[in-house]
């Protein structure tokens, strides 16, 4: 059933003042199972621990709590699927810039809903054959879809993730979130720019670049 949530009509029918219409419409969404999504930026990031293939090609774990204990920023990015086409361009581009992230005390974690075994097979495939080759950061396996769902990037009907990227500070606060359509790869320069902007702790105007002054208010 489609409900008309026009404020004047609901206000009259329900006997509720117009200023309460927003609350009523929210209740309708809730009752229909279409509850409005909550914001994530500025709140504590969902905690995660996942199995992963580490840079030495061994299996291990990645954990947001561990990064926080080590006073590190976390750059967590999701991609749809191993052995695809746009994904390796992003994953290798991030790896090639690893030292820049490391210099900024940031831990990079890539994740998809594939298994660690598929990750490892892809890492062992040469870049010339659409593989990843050696990586400088871990690839995590969100095989139960919990983390992708927690971060709002899971395509439920397909069981894969959108291209979501999240920057989390050492206190566990989610500072930045961006989600791309799966056809579009992300820009490593922009990720590094935003990370450095966040680390200034100041007000960064449009088109701010690292090394430039922040706004004085």
pLDDT one-digit tens code per residue, 145-179: 999 999 999 999 999 999 999 999 999 999 999 99
Positive/negative CA dihedral, 188, 193, 194, 196: positive
pLDDT at 109 over 60: yes
Q: Mention the CATH class of domain 49-200.
A: alpha beta
Closest by Cα among 194, 196, 214 to 204? 214
Instruction: Name which of 11, 65, 5 is nearest 29 in CA terms.
Output: 5
Residue 10 has what pLDDT?
43
Where do the structural domains in the chain lie, given as residue ranges? 1-36, 49-200
Catalytic residue check, 21: no
- Among 7, 21, 87, 204, the one annotated catalytic: 87
Which of helix, strand or coil describes residue 160? strand
Half-sphere exposure of 204 (CA within 13 A, CB side): 15
Q: Which two tokens stand for residue 197?
A: 């902007």
pLDDT tens-digit series, residues 29-69 = 554 555 567 899 999 999 999 999 999 999 999 999 999 99
- Strand, helix or coil at 25? helix
């Amino acid at each position: 059933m489609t409900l008309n949530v026009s404020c004047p009509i609901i206000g009259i029918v329900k006997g509720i003042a117009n200023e309460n219409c927003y609350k009523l419409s929210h209740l309708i969404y809730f009752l229909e199972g279409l509850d409005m999504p909550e914001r994530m930026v500025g709140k504590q990031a969902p905690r995660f621990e996942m199995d992963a293939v580490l840079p030495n090609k061994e299996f291990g774990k990645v954990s947001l709590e561990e990064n926080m204990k080590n006073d590190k920023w976390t750059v967590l990015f999701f991609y749809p699927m191993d052995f695809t086409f746009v994904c390796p361009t992003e994953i290798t581009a991030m790896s090639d810039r690893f030292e820049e992230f490391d210099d900024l005390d940031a831990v990079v974690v890539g994740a998809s809903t594939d298994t660690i075994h598929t990750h490892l097979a892809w890492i062992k495939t040469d870049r010339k054959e659409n593989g990843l080759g050696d990586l400088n950061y871990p690839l995590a396996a969100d095989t139960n879809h919990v983390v992708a769902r927690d971060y709002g990037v899971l395509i439920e009907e397909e069981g894969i993730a959108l291209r979501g990227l999240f920057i989390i500070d050492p206190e566990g606060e989610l500072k930045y979130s961006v989600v791309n359509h799966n056809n579009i790869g992300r820009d490593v320069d922009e990720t590094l720019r935003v990370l450095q902007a966040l680390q200034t702790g100041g007000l960064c105007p449009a088109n701010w670049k690292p090394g430039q002054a922040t706004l004085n208010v």
